[in-house]
Structure 1
Amino acid sequence: MKLAQVRLLVADFPRCYRFYRDVLALKPQFEAEDGPYAKFTADGGAAGVALQDRAQMSQVLGELAVEPTGYRSLVVLRIDELDRYCEQITARGAVLVHGPSPMTDHMRVAHLKDPAGNLVELQEWLVQPG
């Protein structure tokens, strides 16, 4: 078994699409700003984050119509130069809610929210994990 992606259910698909593409600078596999689905990859393309229009999935499952309250997901992106990346994304409109700051002796992090309220963690490993 292989993990294919982590998919976020979002109510404002175009806004979230532009956030992941334009602010975080992830690469969409194909242009689909109006949805209902898109998958993004970071440099190297190994893992992906996907967006799914919440209303469409609600029709498929017969539930999920209401926006959830509180955090239900955390997208984690590994960044080589956290401070520089945070400067770039804040210049493109991102608002950091925390950091950059140390999380452990081995890692620094920053946190922000996407337009749907999903929490995004940016990680910079100071020591390569084993």
Structure 2
Amino acid sequence: MELTQIRLLVTDFTACYRFYRDVLGLTPQVDDERGPYAKLSPSGGGAAIALHDRGEMADVVAALAGAPTGHRALIALRVDDLDSAHADISARGGTFLGAPAPLGDRIRVAHLADPEGNLVELQEWTGARQTA
């Protein structure tokens, strides 16, 4: 088995696409905000975020019909300088749910929500990363 991607099912594809491209600054594989699918990557490489129009998926998975409620996902993005990323994203229209703060003794975090209510966590690692 191979994990190919994490995909967010969204109802307002254009708003979500613009958020990940314009506010977070991710790079789309194809710059087309009409959907129904897009994959966007951070400039440093690594895992990508995929968006898929919820209505199109509901045609295949009937249980997806209707409006979702509440926070359904959290996307964690590592940054080298949380304060700088916080300022840059705020300047591009991002609204954070609070100021950067420590989470445990190894990372600092700041959170914002995309237009669908999915949480985005920016992480700055402050301690050595543990490996299993």
Shift of 1:68: 1.5
Secondary structure in structure 1 of the residue aligned to 2:77: strand
Secondary structure of the corresponding residue to residue 124 of structure 2:
strand
Count of residues in correspondence between the two structures: 130
Match of 1:31? Answer: 31
Aligned residue number for residue 20 of structure 1: 20
- Offset of 1:99 from its aligned partner? 2.5
Displacement after TM superposition at 1:44 (Å): 2.7
**SS at 1:99's partner residue?**
coil
Question: For residues 26-54 of structure 1, what are the alpha-carbon distances to aligned partners after superposition, in whole Å with 9 as ceiling and x for unaligned?
Answer: 11111120000001111232201110001
The 1-side partners of 2:78 and 2:2 are apart by 20
Task: Give the deviation of 1:87 after TM superposition.
Answer: 0.4
RMSD over equivalenced CA pairs, Å = 1.1
Q: Is the 8 A contact 1:95 1:112 kept in 2?
A: yes
Relative to the length of structure 1, the TM-score reads: 0.94
Give the share of equivalent positions with the same residue, in percent.
55
What secondary structure is seen at the aligned counterpart in 2 of 1:112?
A: strand
SS in 1 for 2:83: helix
The residue number in structure 1 matching 2:98 is 98
Q: Is the 8 A contact 1:7 1:51 kept in 2?
A: yes
CA contact (8 A) 2:72 2:117 kept: no
Q: Quick one: which amino acid aligns to residue 12 of structure 1?
A: D
Q: Answer whether contact 1:4 1:48 (CA < 8 A) is retained.
A: no
Q: CA deviation at 1:102?
A: 0.6
How far residue 70 of structure 1 moved from its aligned partner, in angstroms, is: 1.5
1:67 aligns with 2:87: no
Deviation >2 Å, runs of 4+:
none
1:50 corresponds to which residue?
Answer: 50
What secondary structure, in the 3-state scheme, does the structure 2 residue paired with 1:108 have? strand
Question: What letter matches 1:100 in structure 2?
Answer: P
Unaligned runs of 5+ in 1: none
Mapped to 2, the partners of 1:118 and 1:128 lie a distance apart of 28
After TM superposition, the score normalised by the length of structure 2 is 0.93
